[in-house]
Every structure is written in structure tokens, then in C-alpha cells.
Amino acid sequence: MKKRRILLRFAALLLLFCLGLLLLSGILIRKDLDKPFDMTTKLAGFFNEPADEFDLLFFGTSHMYTSVAPPLLWEETGLKSYVLASQSQPIWATYYYIREALRSQTPKCVVLELHMFCQQMYYDEGAVHSAIDHFPFGRNKIEMAVKLADHGDWLPLLTPFITYHGRWETLITADLTYRRWEQRDPLKGYVLLEGTRPLSAGPILSRETEAVPEENEQVLREIIRLCRETGVPLWLIKTPNNADETEERRLNSIAALAEAEGLPYTDFNERYDEIGLSLATDFFDSQHMNFLGAEKFTRYLAQYLQGALPGSGTEDPQWRADAGEYHAAFDQAAAAIA
């Protein structure tokens, strides 16, 4: 009996220690809460959305989250969507994002942006933490940490206290009041970029092909397999980003793979005139569209999807309110450059 009481007390102390560590980790972990790059809110917000809410799910990097405005797409088509992306998102992270999202959602289509699949695989520490820090804990997060760990050191990716224990002196009120389960993003993952950088040249189109790195193709095939196993159609796209010749050659290689696999593939770098994009006004920098370009691209995408993916056609007060927030942000950005 005495031994049992000792074990129970030890278990209680261990539980209190773990709960305390969890609480401290939640306070210390780095949070991106300032608009427009409120990525912590955007990621946590997705996992707070209702199950089976979305018709379309967009995945990828900043090239994806600066290109499509889901509230506007809903207005134009009735299709509900979310952009579940992060800056320079490692492609193994993208795989686990899709796998986790499909646990609660049954979209009509998964849309995969291909920029990182054309790059040499690397693991920038900041990009890794942006992708994994606020991802829900579970099997997918553990496996993601192992894939993304530098030299096999995956434990810090799962225990924020180890990584962020030195933040005590820089904590702000938001660190203490942040509640992940309360987060919601009315822009559904979209990042509205206000600046404008006139460009002198657009994408360098090429008909030649160049193989993507071997591991990149491996991850892409894993995503294809995952979508087929879950019965969700996959659409491979490249958003307008003024791609250089190397990227375009590698995109041509992915296009050939898509054709062999019977998958739809679209390189929107080839459609600037159709979209109506202007190099003088519609880009934030050489790689990303600003709010003007994203609006044009979203409206073009809506026309592109007409008939292929019919929307629900029903009114939704919450989505109407979210569309209102989008338009208010757009008008404010437009007024700043008027």
C-alpha cells in the first residue's frame, strides 16, 4: 500500500511537471501575430475550422499564400478554400500538412504549388520552425520533425521549451494571452502584400527539361500516392512568380511526370496576358504578386474553375463577413497607393 502511494505521488508530480512544461512552452514559443504575416493565426486558425468545411485546399510556400484570396474566390464561385502554407516551407512539411489536413477535411481538390519542388532541398532553421512550431501535436508532427531535423536532432522541434527558453526577457503581453484554440483567420491563410515593385522582365519560359532533385521527386510521388489513397484529386500548379530558366526547365520535367501520372498541371507563368498581370503594378517583389496581382489571379482562377468544380451556391453569413474583411483590407491598400 505504501509503495502504491509513492507511485501515485510520483505520477502526480510527473503529470504536474509535464503540464507546467507544456504551459511554459506555449508562452515561450515564437508567435507571428502581426498582420499581414500573422502566420501563427493562419495555421492555428485552419485547425480550428469545422470539419469538412473546404472544397479546395492550397498548399505550398509564400508563393501560394500571396497568390490566392479565398474569401474572394468564394464570392466568385461559392467554393470554400484555405491556403495552408508557410514561408519557404520544406516539401516534407508540405506532405505532412496535406496528410494532417485530410484527417478533418474532404476537399474536392488539393492544389499543390510547385516552387520548392524546383529548388535544391535545404532546411533553413527559421523556415522549419515556422512550419512545425504551431502544427498540432501527433503522429504527423513527430514524423515531420524526424524528416526535418538537422543531423537527427529532432527533439527541439517537438519541445519548444528547449528552443525558446531564452525568450524570457523579450516576452510581450501577446505571449501570455495567446490561445491557440481561439485563433481564426478571416482571410483563410492569404497574405495581402501592399507594396509595389515595378519589374523590367517577366518569367523566362523554356521548352527544355531538367530533372528535379531526386528527393524532391520522391516527396512529390508520396503526395500523389497520398491523394490517390484518400480519393482526393490533386492539381499541380505554378503561381505567377517570374520564374528563371532553371525553374522553368524543372517545371517542364514535373509537367512530364504529371502527364505520365494522369494529373492536371498548370504553369500560370505562361498566362500573364490572360490573367491581365502587369509587371509595372502587380508585384511586391520579383517573386511574389502584391494585392493587385493576387486579386487578378484569384478572379482568373475563379473563371478557370467554373464548371470544373461547382460551388455550393448557398449563402454563408460567416464567409460573407470574411469577404467583407478582405475587401476592407484591399481598399485600404489601394487607398495607400492612390
What is the pLDDT, as a whole number, of residue 24?
59
- Bigger pLDDT: 52 vs 31: 52
Would you call 84 helix, strand, or coil by DSSP? Answer: strand
Domain count, the chain: 1
In a domain, 148, yes or no: yes
In a domain, 252, yes or no: yes
> Locate cell 516552387: which residue?
115
* Residue 150 CB-half CA count within 13 A: 10
Q: How many CB atoms lie within 10 A of CB 298?
A: 24
- pLDDT > 90 fraction of the chain, expressed in percent and rounded: 63
pLDDT tens digits for range 279-312 = 999 999 999 999 999 999 999 999 989 877 877 7
CA distance 240 to 289: 7
Q: In which domain, by residue range, is 270 found?
A: 32-337
What is the pLDDT, as a whole number, of residue 28?
64
Mean pLDDT in residue range 131-144: 90
Mean pLDDT in residue range 159-166: 68
**C-alpha distance from residue 78 to each of 54, 69, 306, 313, 316 (Å):** 11, 13, 10, 6, 9
CA distance 333 to 40: 22
Any bridge partners for residue 84, and if so which?
A: 59
CA distance 240 to 64: 10
- Bigger pLDDT: 159 vs 85: 85
Q: What are phi and psi of 113, to 5 degrees?
A: -85, 135
pLDDT at 268 exceeding the cut of 60: yes
In a domain, 4, yes or no: no
What is the pLDDT, as a whole number, of residue 6?
66
pLDDT tens digits for range 165-178 = 666 667 677 767 77
In a domain, 255, yes or no: yes
- Bigger pLDDT: 152 vs 148: 148
Q: With cut-offs at 50, 70 and 90, classify the pLDDT of residue 14.
A: low
Handedness of CA 89, 93, 95, 101 (dihedral sign): negative
Q: Are 194 and 290 in contact (CB under 8 A)?
A: yes
Mean pLDDT over each residue of the chain, to the nearest integer: 88
In a domain, 220, yes or no: yes
Any bridge partners for residue 58, and if so which?
A: 83, 111
pLDDT at 1 exceeding the cut of 80: no
Residue 279: which CATH number? Answer: 3.40.50.1110
pLDDT at 20 exceeding the cut of 80: no
pLDDT at 275 exceeding the cut of 70: yes
In a domain, 238, yes or no: yes
Q: Are 265 and 237 in contact (CB under 8 A)?
A: yes
What is the pLDDT, as a whole number, of residue 21?
55
In a domain, 108, yes or no: yes
What is the pLDDT, as a whole number, of residue 173?
72
Q: Are 59 and 112 in contact (CB under 8 A)?
A: yes
pLDDT tens digits for range 44-78 = 999 999 999 999 999 999 999 999 999 999 999 99
Q: pTM here?
A: 0.92
pLDDT tens digits for range 81-128 = 999 999 889 999 999 999 999 999 999 999 999 999 998 876 777 788
What is the pLDDT, as a whole number, of residue 66?
97
In a domain, 100, yes or no: yes
C-alpha cell at 246: 532553371
Q: With cut-offs at 50, 70 and 90, classify the pLDDT of residue 313.
A: confident
**Which range is most confident: 1-5, 34-38, 157-161?**
34-38
Mean pLDDT in residue range 197-219: 92
